[in-house]
Amino acid sequence: MSAGRDAGGGPSGGSRLLGLSDGLLVARALHLVAAAGVADALAGGPRPVGELAAATRTHPDTLGRLLRVLAGEEVFHEVEPGVFGLTETGRYLRSDHPDSVHAMLAFSELVGRSFADAMHSLRTGEATFPRTYGAPFFEFLRAQPEADRLFNAAMAQATRRDTAALIDAYDFGGARRIVDVGGGDGGLLLSLLGAFPGTGGVLFDQPHVVAAARERIGAAGLAGRCEAVAGDLFGALPPGGDLYLLKWILHDWPDAEAVAVLRGCRQAMGTGGRLLVIERMIPRGGRPHPAKTLDLVVLVLLGGRERTVPEYEALLAEAGLSAHRVIDTGSGLSILEARPADAP
């Protein structure tokens, strides 16, 4: 039997494991070139690696070696020795691409440093990020404007990729006043108001996030239908909404904090209000699913967790809410609709 093959002639279990491990190296190479802005420097066409390194303030030989790895993954192509350009896939790394993933991958470069220390999470069940960076995740972002800008851009890119599926899956037009709790720059809420002209909205987030959101609301011509309110996620939430949104919020937090957020929503809404928990729900069984990998990310960064539908239902019940239905959007996200437990 040759090395690396099993008795049936296929790759051995060891080779499979080593292949999985090598995936980390490709991912890190991708994060590094995103953070360095290599794709933007190639917007005008292929360039010699020395010229590209000067434009991105990187080491020429090292950059060439990274690009060689990613050319093997069809992200870049070497049009002639030492000259690299973008493939069709690589164009999504440009920050100006209409469906760009640049910020998500560039922010992953920062995330990856915490995973280098993630044995701490495995030993303790606690977030590793504060150990790596000296402060909890959101506290660190408040103190680091550039990292905060990149994080918000990454969340906006993720939301843009999900919005069409959410609009197709749920009739938001039945709501008079939508409150997007932790709504970031307003991308989701503004898309909903554009798709459903009879609705109004409130974007709720931290003060420094809301300032940018107000500008976006005004630029969209929706200031008459949408307001931005600053506050604390664990304080009083804007009252009077008939539909509250929590998209990618609860997974940031352990159970006690998640219940506190849900109680805030319950207190803010009337008996006829609805809440949408929009998350990646962990399915039953052992098959791969994005929620299972994202679960490790939120653990290492925040001490949070992805959850199954029954786990979310238990949190809702503790907060005085009752799960009504779960809608699969087809995008990896699910919508769990809840209502006050004492609603008629």
The token pair that represents 95 in the structure block: 């920050």
Residue ranges with strand state E in 140-237: 177-181, 200-205, 226-230
How much is the average pLDDT of 242-256?
97
Percent of the chain beyond pLDDT 90? Answer: 86
- State whether residue 283 is helix, strand or coil: coil
Among 31, 59, 208, 251, the one annotated catalytic? 251
How much is the average pLDDT of 259-270?
96
Q: What domains lie within the chain, and their CATH numbers? A: 13-100 (1.10.10.10), 121-340 (3.40.50.150)
Global pTM value: 0.88
**85/270 Cα distance (integer angstroms):** 56
Question: Catalytic residue at 251?
Answer: yes
Residue 81 has pLDDT above 50, yes or no: yes
Give the model's confidence band at 6: pLDDT under 50 very low, under 70 low, under 90 confident, else very high. Answer: low
Backbone phi, psi, residue 199, to 5°: -100, 160
Residue 2 pLDDT: 42
Give, in order, the Cα–Cα distances in Å from 9 to each of 18, 180, 207, 311. 17, 55, 60, 43
Tell the burial category of 46 from Cβ atoms under 10 Å away from its Cβ (0-12, 13-18, 19+).
middle
- State whether residue 135 is helix, strand or coil: coil
